[in-house]
Amino acid sequence: MTELAAQQFTVTRADLVRYAGASGDFNPIHWSERVATSVGLPGVIAHGMLTLALAARAVEEWAGGADRIVEFGAKFTKPVVVPDDDRGVVVEVTGSVSAEDDDRRTIAVKVTCEGVGVLGAMKAVVRA
- Interface residues toward other proteins, by CB under 8 A: 9, 15, 18-19, 21-29, 35, 38-41, 47-50, 52-54, 56-57, 59-60, 65-67, 69-76, 79
**In the complex, minimum distance from the CB of residue 4 to other proteins, in angstroms, rounded to a whole number:** 17
**In the complex, minimum distance from the CB of residue 24 to other proteins, in angstroms, rounded to a whole number:** 6
Residue closer to other proteins (CB basis): 76 or 111: 76
**In the complex, minimum distance from the CB of residue 120 to other proteins, in angstroms, rounded to a whole number:** 8
Alpha carbon dihedral 61, 67, 68, 69, in 10-degree steps, equals 80
Residue closer to other proteins (CB basis): 69 or 89: 69
**In the complex, minimum distance from the CB of residue 94 to other proteins, in angstroms, rounded to a whole number:** 18
Q: Is 14 helix (H, G, I), strand (E, B) or coil?
A: helix
Query: Do 11 and 89 meet the contact criterion of CB atoms below 8 Å apart?
Result: yes
How far is the CA of 32 from the CAs of 1, 14, 40, 53, 121, in angstroms? Answer: 42, 12, 13, 22, 29
Residue closer to other proteins (CB basis): 112 or 119: 119
Residues whose CB is less than 8 angstroms from the CB of residue 14 and which lie 6 or more positions away in sequence, other chains included = none
